[in-house]
Chains A and B, each alone.
Chain A
Amino acid sequence: DVKVTQSSRYLVKRTGEKVFLECVQDMDHENMFWYRQDPGLGLRLIYFSYDVKMKEKGDIPEGYSVSREKKERFSLILESASTNQTSMYLCASSLAVVQFFGPGTRLTVL
């Protein structure tokens, strides 16, 4: 069965903190993705990776970075969290075309 897990369902951080969101997949998928979801805006692609140590910017990479040291793990990093990064963050993985999503992390930045 397809399994994508995210380290936290809910997270509260303070402005200026460094924040790590972790995503792990157990399907040996090559590709992994980070999206954020905001009311009225749908899902927007932040970063993606098609191989270990490879990363590509999505549509809204500003204020974020990523790390992929192992195939199964893809981390999203907020170097200095800001209130406008309060959002739902969704991780996904795919072998080819179909993406499978994790449960999401609802991040609140105070």
Chain B
Amino acid sequence: AQKVTQAQTEISVVEKEDVTLDCVYETRDTTYYLFWYKQPPSGELVFLIRRNSFDEQNEISGRYSWNFQKSTSSFNFTITASQVVDSAVYFCALSEAYSGGGADGLTFGKGTHLIIQP
């Protein structure tokens, strides 16, 4: 069975601080996908990034960066120079290998509520 753990329930930082959201996953598959989604107060989940299990390269997109380490089964998300607009609930999720002709649901962590104070 697969599992995603986001140990940080809530994080509060002051604007312009850097912040890292932790994600640890469990899966028996060798091929899988990891995701981060953002859920702002409006409620709609916004896709941020997908990473497949064969690609351990870190990724940077503007102020966002992701660190994928298979050795520790972690996929952490860092926001540099945080802004008030980054305030949201962030979810890490896992999908096992996409099986041809079928679909796989996502297994989500419980989310981290990030509060950026001005």
The chain A residues found within 8 Å of chain B, CB to CB, are 30-31, 33, 35, 40-45, 48-50, 56, 58-59, 88, 90, 92, 94, 96-104, 106
Residues of B within 8 A of A104 (CB): 43-44
Residues of B within 8 A of A44 (CB): 108
- The docked-state distance in angstroms from the alpha carbon of A40 to that of B110 is 6
The chain B residues found within 8 Å of chain A, CB to CB, are 33, 35, 37, 42-47, 50, 91, 93, 95, 98, 101-103, 105-111
Main secondary structure of the interface of A (DSSP, over half): strand
Asked if residues B105 and A42 are in contact (CB atoms below 8 Å), the reply is no
Seed contacts A42-B110, A97-B95, A102-B44; 20 additional CB < 8 Å A-B pairs? A30-B103, A33-B103, A33-B105, A33-B106, A42-B109, A43-B91, A45-B106, A92-B45, A94-B103, A96-B98, A97-B50, A98-B35, A99-B47, A101-B44, A101-B45, A103-B42, A103-B43, A103-B44, A104-B44, A106-B43
Asked if residues B105 and A58 are in contact (CB atoms below 8 Å), the reply is yes
Residues of B within 8 A of A41 (CB): 110
Asked if residues A48 and B98 are in contact (CB atoms below 8 Å), the reply is no
Closest to B33 in A: A97
- The docked-state distance in angstroms from the alpha carbon of A68 to that of B37 is 26
Residues of B within 8 A of A30 (CB): 103
Asked if residues B44 and A99 are in contact (CB atoms below 8 Å), the reply is no
Q: Closest CB of chain B to A103's CB: distance in Å?
A: 5
Smallest CB-CB A-B distances: 10 pairs: A31-B103, A45-B105, A101-B45, A42-B110, A50-B103, A43-B108, A42-B108, A103-B44, A104-B43, A50-B102
Q: Closest CB of chain A to B80's CB: distance in Å?
A: 24
27 CB contacts below 8 A, A to B, read A30-B103, A31-B103, A33-B105, A33-B106, A41-B110, A42-B91, A43-B93, A43-B108, A45-B105, A48-B103, A48-B105, A49-B103, A50-B103, A56-B103, A58-B105, A59-B105, A88-B43, A97-B95, A97-B98, A98-B35, A101-B37, A101-B44, A101-B46, A103-B42, A103-B44, A104-B43, A104-B44
